[in-house]
Structure 1
Amino acid sequence: MKQTNSPNSIPIKSSRIVLTSKEKSELIIEGIVTVILLLLVNIAVLAVARVLIDDSLAVKNVIFGFKEVLVKTFFNYSFYSMRNAAVIFMVILDLIILYWRLIRRYHQMQLRHIIKELHYIANGNYGHRIPFELSGDLGRVIESINGLVDSTVEAIEEERRIEKSKDELITNISHDIRTPLTSIIGYLGLIEEKQYHNEEDLLKYTHTAYSKAKQMKVLVDDLFEYTKVRQPSSPLKVIEFDMAQLLEQLSVDFELDATRKGVTIDVIATPIPFIMTGDTEKLVRLFNNLLSNALKYGGNCSKILLQVEEVGNEAIITVSNNGDPIPENALNQLFDRFYRVEESRSQETGGTGLGLAIAQSIVTLHGGYIYAKSDQEWTSFVTHLPLNNNN
């Protein structure tokens, strides 16, 4: 019975391959046939040697000369002792040949078992591994096959994840586009059918359709940006710049929206100027998304703090707000595309659910990482970037 394991489990190993009754019979027959053949070869060799010795005077002289040397050297060995030594030599040689043939046949049977296991895996049982622990070349072959199967299973799982991710992306995009598109078609249909009472209704319908069209454009722009920064080969236009100045400019850009909501934005940089390298266009998009996120979703927020400090070879940039905390179970999902902590509130604020996913991709392109933390006082998005980017 086959033994199956999950793709990530360690395969159960056996110390040896257990031969079947048929294979044991084959091995015994192989030994018997080999012994018979060796006996025939030995008899033939002895017969040929005897004929040569009896018929050739030169051969006799050589043998008797060799005998005299042995007699003087090795304690008067008799002719019979020489013959016995020759027989022992032939027996040892026969045993070596017999062992070689049996072990070769045994290795062939081992290889047959390995091929059978490989066919079983090839039939779709990717959770199975060849469960034999052998030494030598066959052991290395088994390790290579199991390693190849592991890599194949991992590639298949990755392909499935990518396919599932694509399906989810299409589903989410379709849902997020359909909602405003339905409103646009509905209000334009009312205008087309002249189902409005006065100019005020007409302006209201056109304004709503216009707002929904802008919402769709934001989604399309975010989606385009997301797919662009998700490409590993996406080029970075790396230049030297002052991060402190970049954050100050962003705080000025958001000052009007922040004032309307009663929020103040402060920037703290150490040192000043804070010189580093990176793609400023993408980094502006990164911190623009983080600031927008703080303003939109930082409920009861009165202060946003932008901090940058140098630690070793890294720049650590923190975007914090003192609004309502994010639930612990949501922190690890914040950077998933289309994820929203509160669906209803996100719909009200018009978020696409791609902002933080784009931010994470930009950070990854720069060779850094980003994470979120939240408590009763501050909700912070912490970005680690290399000071000198060589991408």
Structure 2
Amino acid sequence: MKKERVKLTGTEKSELFAEAVVTIVLLLLLNLSIIILIHLAILQDESLVNGIYFLKKTITFSGNYHLWSWQRIFIIIMGFGDLIVLYWRLIRRYHQMQLRHVISELHYIADGHFDHRISFAVRSDLQRVIDSINSLVDSTVNSINEEKAIEKSKDELITNVSHDIRTPLTSIIGYLGLLKTGNVGPEDQAKYINIAYTKAEQMKSLANDLLEYTTLKSNTTKLNLAPLHIYSMLEQVEAGFELEAEKKGISFDVETRPKNLTIKADPEKLVRVYNNLINNAFKYGTGATKIKLIANLVNKQTVELRVENNGARIPEKSLKKIFERFYRVEGSRNIKTGGTGLGLSITKSVVDLHHGTIRCESNDNWTSFIIRLPLDPSKV
């Protein structure tokens, strides 16, 4: 923001001019009074006159020039003094006017114009006050925006949770109501019980994800760091999804470079990251035939973990929001895919706890979730 000097109003300029005139008049009167008093003192003391005459004759310059008469020297000294006093009076009044402008701007901001900033540039300590006021306003605006975002987030959380709980709960109540009537055959009873059980499992999954999400977001969550052999962990993760992958016609590729790559991490939480990303590939990677689990040592301090699938491409507009809680790429709340919308948000929270980063890249060939983690989070 370009800063400009305080622009004085016509009234203020007149006030400054009047201040200059009054000061000059007072100084002239004071100078005249001093000169008269000195003349009176000299006339009454002859020795003082002789002393001044002696100095004039004694102090000479090159070319036999004598010192000017004492009247001229004294008048010049008084003139310099008058100029200093005049400048001090005018600059003091000008600073007072600047302060009035700052106070006026501050009242304008206090009336609710939080997008306004004081743009004055002054050459005094007042500039530090202006900068402090602008910083305080920025801090206040940020706090207000954060509070609004928190309130909005709470409202969205309540809305989304209510919807995700109500949908399976409505089905459970409906099928249990049919069973309660007793007018349902044995085959339909088993069918309705199975549907009600599946819906109850969905509610349990949502409750567990919510609990884990809020736990990870709290400041009290701590990592249980331990040496973790990446290749062994990835083999175990692959084995856990082997049957489901076979049903979907998906194969796994596991690769680590180097093969004995070991990092310090929380094994339980890092396995949850892989579970979430693989489940995400199963649910949303339409047409996928392969999932790659890759780990590379980037340097002596960082490791890169990649989970890739060759399924459907994620739209560009969704990539920036994909780690937000309850966000679904398909943009619906009907849970057709069975997800709670918290899996990737939980994944990001775990990565953040490890002082790492996660991002998603997607094209027509591969969708890649790329995680960067320090080899030892405790040293970050």
Unaligned runs of 5+ in 1: 1-9
Determine the structure 1 residue equivalent to 2:293: 306
Residue 62 (structure 2) pairs with residue 72 (structure 1): no
What's the counterpart of residue 119 of structure 1? 107
1:6-155 matched pairs, under 5 angstroms? 10=1, 13-14=3-4, 16-55=5-44, 57=45, 61=47, 64-74=50-60, 75-77=65-67, 81-155=69-143
Contact in 2 for aligned 1:196/1:202 (Cα 8 Å): no
1:255 and 1:311 map into 2 onto residues whose CA distance is 29
Distance 1:46 1:338, change over 3 A: same
Measured against aligned partners, the alpha-carbon deviations of 1:327-379 in whole angstroms (never above 9, x if no partner) come to 33333332222122225797233111111111112112212211222233322
Cα deviation, residue 109, structure 1: 0.7
Find the aligned partners of 1:166 and 1:63 in 2 and give their Cα distance: 92
Name which of 176, 201, 212 aligns with 2:199.
212
CA RMSD of aligned residues (A): 2.4
Range 263-272 or range 130-139, more displaced: 130-139
- Given that 2:288 and 2:310 are in contact with CA atoms closer than 8 Å, whether structure 1 keeps it comes out as yes
| Range that drifts further, 164-173 or 274-283 | 164-173
* Match of residue 235 from structure 1: 222
1:382 to 367, 370, 378: 370
The residue identity in structure 1 corresponding to 2:80 is I
Equivalent position of 1:7 in the other structure: none
Instruction: Give the structure-2-normalised TM-score.
Output: 0.89
**Is 2:200 aligned against 1:197?**
no
Bigger mean CA deviation after superposition, 289-298 or 63-72: 63-72
Superposition pairs for residues 339-358 of structure 1, below 5 Å?
A: 339-343=327-331, 347-358=335-346
Change in CA separation of 1:67 and 1:246 when aligned onto 2, cut-off 3 Å: farther
Aligned-partner SS, 1:131 = coil
- Cα distance, 1:157–1:67 mapped onto 2, change above 3 Å: farther
Match of 1:250 in 2: 237
CA gap 1:77/1:13 in 2 versus in 1, 3 angstroms: closer
CA distance, structure 2, for counterparts of residue 352 and residue 142 of structure 1: 49
Could you tell me how far apart the structure 2 residues matched to 1:382 and 1:26 are? Answer: 68
Per the alignment, do residues 189 and 51 of structure 1 end up closer, same or farther by CA in structure 2, a change over 3 Å counting?
Answer: farther
Matched residue count: 374
Instruction: Give 1:285 shift.
Output: 0.9
Compared with structure 1, are the counterparts of its residues 45 and 344 closer, same or farther at alpha carbon in structure 2 (3 Å cutoff)? closer
Q: Which amino acid aligns with 1:90?
A: M
SS at match of 1:288: helix
Change (3 A) 1:209 1:97: same
**Structure 2 alignment gaps of length 5 or more:** none
Q: Which residue of 2 aligns with 1:292?
A: 279
> Percentage identity across aligned positions?
50
Return the TM-score normalized by structure 1.
0.87
